Amino acid sequence: MKSDLLKSCRFYKGEAENPFTDSRSSLWSLERSWVQEASASPASTILSDAIENFRINFPDWVDDEPLPLSLKAFLLDRYCSKGGTPYRFRAWLEQNWVK
């Protein structure tokens, strides 16, 4: 399962140490945290709550991007926890992940 999750990551490839020293460092950390949450057993409550919140904020934007729903939801949760808003999230995501 973890190897399937890593295929969706742009920055985190399973390394033990963060290889980045620039702005990609925090993006790597976000993906690593998502892989840990998504591969947790039992299923992560944090991730379940994040997916529910994502569906509320973006009811029409669940399957139209190349990123898994759980990753988008996790990123939205972390983005908003740092003061971002759902309104600005999509632009942030496209700038940092969707290339």
The pLDDT assigned to 65 comes to 64
* pLDDT of res. 63: 67
pLDDT digits (tens, 9 = 90+) for 48-85: 999 999 999 888 876 656 788 899 999 999 999 999 99
Residue 1 pLDDT exceeds 80? no
Note the pTM of the prediction, 2 decimals.
0.87
pLDDT at 98 (0 to 100):
73
Q: What pLDDT does residue 14 have? A: 96
pLDDT at 3: 85
HEC string for the chain:
CHHHHHCCCCCCCCCCCCCCCCCHHHHHHHHHHHHHHHCCCCCCHHHHHHHHHHHHHCCCCCCCCCCCHHHHHHHHHHHHHCCCCHHHHHHHHHHHCCC
